[in-house]
Amino acid sequence: MSAVTTPETMRQLLVRRDDIHRASVVTSPLPSAASLAEGQVLLRVDRFGFSANNITYVALGDQMHYWNFFPATDGWGCIPVWGFADVVASRRNDMPIGERFFGYWPMASHAIVQPGHVSSHGFTDASPHRVSLPAVYNQYQRTAGDLSYDATTEDAYMILRPLFVTSFMLDDFLADARWFGAEEILISSASSKTAYALAFLLSQHAKQRPQMVGLTSRANLAFVEGLGCYDRVIAYDDVTSLPVTGPVVYADFSGNAALRAAIHHHFGTKVAYSAAVGLTHWETLAPAGDLPGAKPTLFFAPTQIKRRAVEWGPGGIEQRAGDAWRAFLVPLQSWMTISRLHGGDAALALYHSMLNGNATPDCGYVIQL
Ligand SMILES: NC(=O)c1ccc[n+]([C@@H]2O[C@H](COP(=O)([O-])OP(=O)(O)OC[C@H]3O[C@@H](n4cnc5c(N)ncnc54)[C@H](OP(=O)(O)O)[C@@H]3O)[C@@H](O)[C@H]2O)c1
């Protein structure tokens, strides 16, 4: 066992689970290499992306068990984030110091994992508290030897790749269902990166697809129009002015209960499918209740991933999603600015800004704690 020089403290951004407006960066002594248990590995979380998706993890922390990935002290929660981390101390021969991995980390400067299965592609964290959690979050990719890894696009990868994969699976799910017969797809929080990824992927179906209507807040209307990927863009307030003609699908990234009710009542039985994908408007969370049209159904990407992993075989998802990802990166460069933030104060400021809906949609944030 050996170790390289590391900072002496570990920093974690923690959120009060009973009052998510309270957050704090706490420091603690960095575990020494000698204190690692047999088979454990300590990583420096180098950088991670941060978007409304992470706020959704917070808002649904208890309900969807997001707090269970990285247990914190009583009453506090550590937000999961997607990013890159480097091994700084290891009690495994097959995970040497200096190796870099992509995956789901605590919003912290460091993480300790207990790898179970390790392969040339990566490892699975088999820490006892993670075994019952969805497997997709417990898998880490090794960058060394990964032919699709590109160090120059790491920032975009951290910010967008997990969001893109969700949209890739949703696009696949909808296309496979022949759009549920819909002539239009209404997409809320159209300014969000995940919604944009869905719109991009839908646009690749050329003529064999429904029209896309982007729904957004009035403040983001011009931004969404500028993205140029939706066939039509309207403000939330105007949704009931849409003509009711053929069947529609609602892809809901906002989770806004009042908006969902307005759409279902306006389109009635013409709502052929209603996918609950996101919760950007987290303060409006409320049960769907009885609504006209198709019953709102939670879209959980890991479920579709599991299905396609079997149907497409080993590497099938990676190859298809990888090809689509490379195409997606091209238009992205025309509108997304990457902002790199360092340290606890900057991370806390971004957390509060994102929680309160003040972050601008044209920016992708990368943080180092
Ligand atoms: N089901 C899944 O597996 C899955 C996977 C990935 C992402 N998602 C979900 O997709 C959603 C979008 O995530 P993202 O990371 O792509 O978002 P993002 O790019 O950070 O989205 C920013 C947009 O979200 C809206 N927004 C953000 N915070 C808000 C607030 N506090 N109040 C009101 N509106 C707010 C605004 O859009 P508007 O003005 O246009 O409403 C804002 O422009 C999240 O809820 C995320 O959890 C789900």
pLDDT over 70 (residue 245): yes
> What percent of the chain has a predicted confidence (pLDDT) above 70?
98
Domain shared by 123 and 170, yes or no: no
Residue 2 lies in a domain: no
Does the C-beta of 134 come closer than 6 Å to ligand 1? Answer: no
pLDDT at 8: 83
Domain that holds residue 66: 9-149+337-368
The three-class DSSP label of residue 51 is: coil
Domain shared by 44 and 140, yes or no: yes
Q: How confident is the model over 130-181, as pLDDT tens digits? A: 999 988 899 999 999 787 789 999 999 999 999 999 999 999 999 999 999 9
Q: Which of 277, 303, 329 is the last residue of a domain?
A: 303
- Output the CA 113–ligand 1 centroid distance in Å: 29
Rounded Cα distance, 79 and 13, in Å: 8
Rounded Cα distance, 118 and 125, in Å: 9
Domain shared by 82 and 135, yes or no: yes
> What percent of the chain has a predicted confidence (pLDDT) above 90?
89
pLDDT at 2: 43
The three-class DSSP label of residue 45 is: strand
Residue 13 lies in a domain: yes
pLDDT over 60 (residue 4): no
How high does pLDDT run on average in the chain? 94
Q: Relative to the CA of 194, which ligand 1 atom is closest?
A: 16
CATH number of the domain within which 82 lies: 3.90.180.10
Number of domains in the chain: 2
Tokens of 276: 């609950």
Give yes or no for a contact between 274 and 249, defined as CB atoms under 8 angstroms apart. Answer: yes
Does the C-beta of 138 come closer than 6 Å to ligand 1? Answer: no
Mutating to test ligand 1, I would choose from 171, 227, 280 the residue with most ligand atoms within 8 A of its C-beta, which is: 280
Helix (H) or strand (E) holding 81: strand 80-90
Q: Relative to the CA of 302, which ligand 1 atom is closest?
A: 3
Looking at ligand 1, which residue's alpha carbon is closest to its atom 48? 278
- Output the CA 230–ligand 1 centroid distance in Å: 17
Looking at ligand 1, which residue's alpha carbon is closest to its atom 30? 357
Q: Relative to the CA of 52, which ligand 1 atom is closest?
A: 20
Residue 321 lies in a domain: no
- Output the CA 34–ligand 1 centroid distance in Å: 42
Helix (H) or strand (E) holding 88: strand 80-90
Rounded Cα distance, 278 and 298, in Å: 9
- Output the CA 46–ligand 1 centroid distance in Å: 24
Q: How confident is the model over 255-268, as pLDDT tens digits? A: 999 999 999 999 99
Q: Which of 303, 328, 345 is the last residue of a domain?
A: 303
Does the C-beta of 220 come closer than 6 Å to ligand 1? Answer: yes
Does the C-beta of 361 come closer than 6 Å to ligand 1? Answer: yes
Does the C-beta of 54 come closer than 6 Å to ligand 1? Answer: no
Question: How remote is the C-alpha of 302 from its chain's centroid?
Answer: 12
Looking at ligand 1, which residue's alpha carbon is closest to its atom 29? 357
Rounded Cα distance, 131 and 232, in Å: 44
Q: How confident is the model at residue 7 (pLDDT cuts 50, 70, 90)?
A: low
Q: How confident is the model over 64-121, as pLDDT tens digits? A: 999 999 999 899 999 999 999 999 999 999 999 999 999 999 999 999 999 998 999 9
pLDDT over 60 (residue 5): no
pLDDT at 60: 95
Give yes or no for a contact between 271 and 241, defined as CB atoms under 8 angstroms apart. Answer: no
pLDDT at 146: 80
The three-class DSSP label of residue 120 is: coil
- Output the CA 53–ligand 1 centroid distance in Å: 6
Rounded Cα distance, 294 and 204, in Å: 26
Give yes or no for a contact between 122 and 109, defined as CB atoms under 8 angstroms apart. Answer: no
**Mean pLDDT of the 344-366 span:** 97
Residue 320 lies in a domain: no
**Mean pLDDT of the 311-321 span:** 93
pLDDT over 90 (residue 6): no
CATH number of the domain within which 212 lies: 3.40.50.720
**Mean pLDDT of the 329-338 span:** 94
Domain shared by 216 and 291, yes or no: yes
CB-count exposure of residue 175 (10 Å: 0-12, 13-18, 19+): middle
Kindly write down the DSSP assignment for every residue of 128-169, as one continuous string: GGGTTS-GGGGEEEESTT-TT--GGGHHHHHHHHHHHHHHHH
The three-class DSSP label of residue 344 is: helix
Q: How confident is the model over 19-66, as pLDDT tens digits? A: 999 999 999 999 998 999 999 999 999 999 999 999 999 999 999 999
Does the C-beta of 159 come closer than 6 Å to ligand 1? Answer: no
**Mean pLDDT of the 232-250 span:** 97
- Output the CA 224–ligand 1 centroid distance in Å: 13
Tokens of 189: 């929080």
